[in-house]
Amino acid sequence: MSNAIKTAGRFYWHELVTTDVEQAKGFYGELFGWSIKGVDMGPMGTYWIASAGEKQVAGIAKADNGAKPGWLSYITAHDVDATTTEAKAAGAKVLVPPSDIPGQGRFSLLADAEGALFAPFRPSDETADDGGLVGLGGFCWSELLTQTPATSVGFYATLFGWGRDEREMGPLGTYTMFKRGDKQAAGAMKAMNPSAPAMWLNYVVVENVDASFARAEKLGGKQLVPPMDIPGIGRSAVVVDPGGAMISLFKAS
With residues binned 3-state (H G I as helix, E B as strand, rest as coil), the percentages for the chain, rounded to 5, are 20, 45, 35
Q: How confident is the model at residue 138 (pLDDT cuts 50, 70, 90)?
A: very high
Asked, for residue 1, whether it belongs to a domain, the answer is: no
Q: Considering the domain boundaries, does residue 160 fall inside one?
A: yes
Helix (H, G, I), strand (E, B) or coil at 237: strand
Residue 64 covered by a domain? yes
Threshold 0.85, pTM exceeds: yes
Tell me the pairing of strands 183-190 and 174-180. antiparallel
Q: Is residue 57 included in any domain, yes or no? A: yes
Instruction: Tell me the residue range of the domain where 140 lies.
Output: 7-253
User: Does residue 53 fall inside a structural domain?
Assistant: yes
Taking residue 245's Cβ as centre, other Cβ atoms within 10 Å add up to 24
The 3-state DSSP class for residue 82 equals helix
Mean pLDDT to the nearest integer, 126-148? 82
Mean pLDDT of the chain: 92
Size of the chain, expressed as the number of residues it contains = 253
The CATH code of the domain that includes 131 is 3.10.180.10
CB 206 within 8 A of CB 196: no
pLDDT tens-place string over residues 29-49 = 999 999 999 998 877 789 999
Q: Could you tell me if residue 200 is inside a domain? A: yes
Q: Among 15, 99, 100, which residue's Cα sits nearest to residue 62?
A: 15
The total number of structural domains that make up the chain: 1
Mean pLDDT (whole number) for 16-31: 97
Cβ within 8 Å of residue 67, ≥6 positions away: 17
Helix ranges (H only) for the chain are 21-32, 80-89, 149-160, 209-218
The amino acid that residue 170 corresponds to is: G
- CA-nearest of 185, 196, 187 to 144 is 187
Please state the rounded mean pLDDT for residues 20-25. Answer: 97
Answer yes or no: is 231 within a domain. Answer: yes
Q: What is the pLDDT of residues 67-115, one digit of tens each?
A: 899 999 999 999 999 999 999 999 999 999 999 988 889 999 999 999 9
pLDDT the model gives residue 50: 97
Q: Tell me, yes or no, whether 2 lies in a domain.
A: no
